[in-house]
């Protein structure tokens, strides 16, 4: 006589999912493959070979799943040694944010589209706290410090998303500004096809410092 399956309803296959690490790893696979917009609890359940009802015991919805992913990723962000000068401290903490998000650009899209920053766990918010505290140290109010962070955040996320959505072949495009009339746009005509190389030159840190110095003169 054939041995009956011990799984409910005679189902065989993978064992029930109980590991958060396994759930997050599967969610990352789906995002890398299809994009974060298409991530759902049902698709995650299918990826893991389990039922949606089982998965809902671990994550109640897509937002909760994204928060788990983002907090897990943020908790692994290296914490650099912070300088004593408040402006230098802002730059150092923000570069840490930038470098972490540059490795995972979809996270920048999530944070921009849904305002998830305010939902982060306290342990993941040290870069934001660092920027706010350092700004207050320069004599600004809390309200002004939030505005400083907001401007820095827009610059940082914008740079990451532009780089993420700019294919390498754009640098090789020819011609670029070579057909411009120098009597109308003399400077752009002089730059010509050097524009792609000049426009993609890595200068995030220099731009960040200029913004911080401008916001905190």
Average pLDDT on 155-169 reads: 81
pLDDT digits (tens, 9 = 90+) for 177-210: 788 899 999 999 999 888 877 877 778 999 999 9
Give yes or no for residue 119 having a pLDDT over 80.
no
pLDDT (0 to 100) of residue 187: 93
pLDDT digits (tens, 9 = 90+) for 92-112: 999 999 999 888 888 888 888
pLDDT (0 to 100) of residue 16: 56
Q: Tokens 């780089």 sit at which residue?
A: 163
Q: Tokens 């943020």 sit at which residue?
A: 74
Name which of 19-23, 28-32, 138-142 the model is least confident about. Answer: 19-23
In the chain, what percentage of residues exceed pLDDT 70?
Answer: 84
Give yes or no for residue 5 having a pLDDT over 50.
no
Cα–Cα distances in angstroms (integers) from residue 108 to residues 154, 158, 161, 178, in the given order:
10, 9, 7, 35
The reply to whether omega before 175 is within 30° of 0 (cis) is yes
Q: Bigger pLDDT: 17 or 140? A: 140
| 174: confidence class by pLDDT, cuts 50, 70, 90 | low
């Amino acid at each position: 006589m054939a041995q009956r399956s011990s799984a409910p309803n005679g189902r065989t296959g993978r064992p029930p999912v109980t590991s958060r690490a396994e759930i997050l790893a599967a969610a990352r696979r789906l995002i890398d493959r299809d994009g974060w917009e298409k991530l759902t609890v049902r698709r995650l359940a299918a990826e893991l070979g389990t039922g949606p009802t089982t998965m809902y015991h671990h994550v109640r919805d897509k937002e909760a799943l994204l928060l788990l992913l983002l907090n897990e990723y943020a908790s692994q962000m290296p914490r650099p040694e912070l300088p004593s000068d408040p402006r230098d401290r802002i730059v150092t903490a923000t570069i840490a944010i930038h470098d972490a998000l540059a490795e995972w650009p979809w996270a920048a899209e999530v944070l921009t589209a849904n305002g998830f920053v305010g939902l982060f766990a306290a342990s993941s918010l040290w870069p934001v706290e660092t920027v706010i505290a350092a700004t207050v140290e320069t004599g600004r109010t809390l309200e002004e410090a939030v505005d400083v962070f907001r401007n820095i955040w827009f610059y940082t996320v914008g740079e990451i998303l532009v780089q993420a959505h700019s294919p390498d072949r754009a640098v090789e495009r020819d011609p670029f500004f070579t057909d411009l009339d120098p009597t109308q746009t003399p400077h752009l005509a002089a730059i010509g096809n050097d524009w792609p190389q000049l426009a993609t030159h890595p200068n995030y840190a220099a731009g960040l410092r200029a913004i911080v110095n401008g916001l905190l003169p």
